[in-house]
Amino acid sequence: MLFKWKLTVVPVICLLLSAGVIGILGNGVATTTSESTRSEGGESIYDFGEPKPTDPDNTVVIMEITNYGSIVIELYDSLAPQTVSNFIKYVDDGFYNGLIFHRVAKDFVIQGGGYGPGMEYKDPTYPPINLEIHEDLTHVDGALGMARGSDPDSATTQFYISVGDNHHLDGEYAVFGQVISGHDIYKLINEVPVEGEQPVDDIIIRRMAFYQPVDISFKSHSLKDTIYDTVIIVGEVDDSEVYIEKVEVRIDGNSWEVAEGTSTWSYTWDTTKVSDGIHTVYVRAHDGFYYSAVQNLTLIVNNSVNENEPAKYEPVDDDSDDDGDDKEQGEDKEESTNLFPLIVGIVVIIAIILLIVVLMIIKSKKTPPPERPKEYDLN
């Protein structure tokens, strides 16, 4: 009987104990999975992955290339000061805007900065600079270097980007920068059809500018008007001198849509497509290269009013200009949701303990008293 009792009860206890342990550990597993899902797999509304230089004091330049995209380059101000200073002057003057990459050497370099469309030469506006070599700056993939003639001290405006490692150029040509974003762009350009080393079609540098992360705050998010099932959200940027290419608006988890206007903008929202309750409106600006931090406005939508009256939309006060509070609220909701497996695990373990106690009591009642030793007559 004891053997059968063990066969029945022990597996049950093991099963319940496993469920309890899984319930408790499951709380941590669920949290980890949720955080991983939130941070991976596509664009995040909280982090747009702006390129970061290795040294925050270094100058960062963005080269926007028509039909291709943008290449972001970190300049090594302290390691190649003369070469960087020369390049910065030309960028600041807008010299490179509208010029082309006139040379594409397969698996070697793409070179530009001296010719416009149709191979029209553009004269330099500053004198040539001396060859500047630093042992820590080598021709690795994505290195930015100065082109020159046979005279080592003849570099002016033309530059190149190294496609792959080209260390045979080290010590002969000046490296003064490194691509930190847009590697796919210059490698795509390196694959274009060429005649000799000249691209068949012009590859135009639309503009080159200094990169400064967009830090745009909005004067207001307000409701311009409410017309039955439509609400018009309007906003205004603090600094009207900041160049803004577009403002985008996103409702809850829907896709981003372009608003009307830039420094002063508006967005018409059809609320018939959403349920009544609290909704978050996200707003971000784009300066032609990168997005600003996301800001938000929380609205309460109430379409359940008299059909002869406009629907009501109430802005909810939100002192925060960024999305941190919204993110924290989401995390709080996650944490509360993840308490369920923990509670289940604790309840199961308590049940196991009670079951063991009950079984011990039952066993003690059924166990016969120990048999007294037999008495023998020694006589």
Q: Which residues contact 240 (CB under 8 A, 6 or more apart)?
A: 263
Q: How far apart are the first and last CA of the chain?
A: 40
Which amino acid, 239? D
In the block, tokens 């469920």 appear at 19
pTM score, whole prediction:
0.52
How far is residue 349's CA from residue 290's CA, in Å, rounded to a whole number?
Answer: 53
Give pairs for 80-86: CB < 8 Å, separation 24+: 80/132, 80/134, 80/137, 80/174, 80/175, 80/176, 81/132, 82/129, 82/130, 82/132, 83/129, 83/132, 83/146, 83/155, 83/174, 83/176, 84/59, 84/176, 84/177, 86/126, 86/129, 86/155, 86/156
How far is residue 81's CA from residue 92's CA, in Å, rounded to a whole number?
Answer: 16
Phi-psi region for residue 345, left (φ > 0), alpha (ψ -120 to 50) or beta?
A: alpha
The full DSSP string for 149-167 is -SSTT-B-S-EEEESS--G
How far is residue 238's CA from residue 371's CA, in Å, rounded to a whole number?
Answer: 95
Greater model confidence, 217 or 330: 217
The pLDDT assigned to 202 comes to 96
**181, containing H or E segment:** strand 175-181
Q: What is the pLDDT of residues 251-267, one digit of tens each?
A: 888 888 888 887 787 88
How far is residue 375's CA from residue 3's CA, in Å, rounded to a whole number?
Answer: 32
% residues pLDDT > 90 (the chain): 37
DSSP code for 239: -
Q: 47 pLDDT exceeds 50?
A: no
Confidence of residue 335 (pLDDT cuts 50, 70, 90): very low
How far is residue 39's CA from residue 234's CA, in Å, rounded to a whole number?
Answer: 30
Q: What is the pLDDT of residues 134-175, one digit of tens each?
A: 999 999 999 999 999 999 999 999 999 999 999 999 999 999
Q: Give just the sign of the alpha carbon dihedral 98, 241, 288, 89.
A: positive
Asked if 214 and 221 touch (Cβ cutoff 8 Å), the reply is: no
324-337 and 2-39 are packed helices; what angle lies between their axes, rounded to 10 degrees? 170
The pLDDT assigned to 11 comes to 52
Which candidate, 78, 145, 153, places its Cα nearest to that of 110? 145
Ranges 105-114, 252-261, 290-299: which has the least confidence: 290-299
How far is residue 179's CA from residue 69's CA, in Å, rounded to a whole number?
Answer: 14
